[in-house]
Every structure is written in structure tokens, then in C-alpha cells.
């Protein structure tokens, strides 16, 4: 039996909309390694189970639906991001965690993430911006020309959803503070190195086949360095939105 692999598009959508938190207990699902980098410990669980099982040998996965196609099983709409403990819980208590309830939990969780990021946005300071940008400025400066296209036009041309449009609008709340932070840095190349980091990452992600919302969430994830902290996520969003507006990110 072959399993349908979860595509990078669906991974980026799931993680980006889940805010690096378990959809049930809302704990962080990234941990810090010895190098200081964060690595994922969350599980991309199937709402309607993945495996049909083998008669007489192994049971089917929890909530397995024989009428569902393999590509539907591996789609973002059938996935929920959980910590290992909650993943075990939902598969051992299928009477409690039905497909309808899990879909509702996922929907409510993603709304909570959106609301939490929006609440945290006005609270970010230079301290959070410093944490976000310090690893980005190490990217070598590229020699590309800047192409300025209004944000609303970029959203339209790249088929970005209203959800991503709302994220961009939220990020613009701190537009002036980001500009002030960058302008006050004594290193005159600081802003250019930061811009180069976003442009290079954007091109790398685009070359990998990502587009639309999944590309935006991948760049957003890069911007906040996988942190589960909503203030740092909001700081990353504000910096990303700044460069979304002024340079060749989503320039088509």
C-alpha cells in the first residue's frame, strides 16, 4: 500500500496557520537544540485516518474513510497539527475525537492564532525586532534591482487569499516602528543585508515550487525563525510586511 506524501505546500499552510502550537493543548511544538536553532516536535495528524489496515493483521487508522482519495487524505484540509501527546490521545479516543470535532478544533485554533498575533502586534518593541533580524542580516548582499509594486497589486497578482491579505494588513500596524528601527541602525548596509535575506529566501522558496499562500507562509516562517512566541511571530510579520511593500518579494 502506498501513502500519499504530504506536499511542502500543505506543510507550510498547516504550520503557518497553526502558529507552531498544538491545536488542542496550545503548547509549543518546536524545541531548541544545542545549537540554539529550533526544530519541530509536532505531528501532522490526519483528521480522517491515513491507513486502511490489513485484514487479520493490523487495524485501520483512527477515523479512516474508505471513500476518501489519497490526495484528499494528505491535503491541508484533512490535517491538524498536534503535540505527540495529543496525537496519541485523539487516536485512542475516537468516540470523543470525531472528524467533526477535530475539524472544529482546528478551525477554532487557527482563529485563536490569528487573534493572538493581532493582539501581540501593538506590543512589539525594538527588543523583539532585534531578536528577529539578528540572524537575517548575515545573508550576503545580492545585487538585484528593487521593483516596487503596491501591496494590494501584489496580493492580486499572486492570488493571495484574503486571510494572507489580513495578515499583511496586521503587519502594517508596526510599519513606522520597523522603518525607525532600520533607519536608526548605525550600519548603513544593515537594511540592505536584511532585504537581501528576504529576497534570496523568496527566490529559493519560489524555485522549490511554492506559490501563493504556501509561499507567503514559508517566508513568514523564515521571518520569525520558527518561534512559538506570538510577539516574535508578530515582529517577524511586521518586518516581512515592510519588505513585501518595498522590494521584489512577490514582485510578479
Question: What is this structure's pTM?
Answer: 0.84
Q: What is the pLDDT of residues 98-144, one digit of tens each?
A: 999 999 999 999 999 999 999 999 999 989 998 888 766 655 544 44
Q: What is the pLDDT of residues 146-170, one digit of tens each?
A: 444 556 778 888 889 999 999 999 9
Domain boundaries, the chain: 8-113, 124-246
CA distance 37 to 6: 24
Amino acid at each position: 500500500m502506498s501513502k500519499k506524501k504530504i506536499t511542502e505546500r500543505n506543510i507550510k499552510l498547516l504550520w503557518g496557520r497553526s502558529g507552531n502550537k498544538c491545536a488542542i493543548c496550545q503548547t509549543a511544538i518546536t524545541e531548541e537544540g544545542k545549537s540554539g536553532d529550533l526544530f519541530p516536535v509536532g505531528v501532522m495528524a490526519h483528521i480522517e485516518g491515513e491507513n486502511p489496515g490489513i485484514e487479520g493483521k493490523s487495524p485501520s487508522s483512527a477515523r479512516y474513510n474508505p471513500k476518501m482519495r489519497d490526495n484528499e487524505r494528505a491535503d491541508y484540509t484533512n490535517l491538524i497539527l498536534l503535540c505527540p501527546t495529543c496525537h496519541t490521545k485523539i487516536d485512542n479516543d475516537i468516540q470523543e475525537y470525531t472528524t467533526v470535532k477535530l475539524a472544529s478544533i482546528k478551525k477554532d485554533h487557527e482563529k485563536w492564532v490569528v487573534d493572538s498575533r493581532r493582539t501581540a502586534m501593538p506590543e512589539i518593541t525594538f527588543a523583539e525586532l532585534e531578536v528577529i533580524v539578528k540572524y537575517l542580516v548575515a545573508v550576503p548582499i545580492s545585487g538585484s534591482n528593487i521593483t516596487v509594486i503596491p501591496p494590494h497589486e501584489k496580493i492580486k497578482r499572486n492570488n493571495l487569499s484574503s486571510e494572507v491579505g489580513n495578515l499583511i494588513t496586521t503587519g502594517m500596524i508596526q510599519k513606522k516602528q520597523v522603518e525607525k528601527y532600520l533607519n536608526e541602525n548605525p550600519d548603513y548596509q544593515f537594511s540592505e543585508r536584511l532585504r537581501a535575506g528576504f529576497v534570496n529566501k523568496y527566490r529559493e522558496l519560489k524555485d522549490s515550487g511554492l506559490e501563493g499562500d504556501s509561499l507567503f507562509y514559508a517566508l513568514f516562517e523564515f521571518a520569525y525563525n520558527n518561534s512559538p512566541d506570538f510577539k516574535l511571530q508578530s515582529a517577524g510579520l511586521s518586518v516581512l510586511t515592510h519588505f513585501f511593500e518595498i522590494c521584489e518579494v512577490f514582485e510578479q
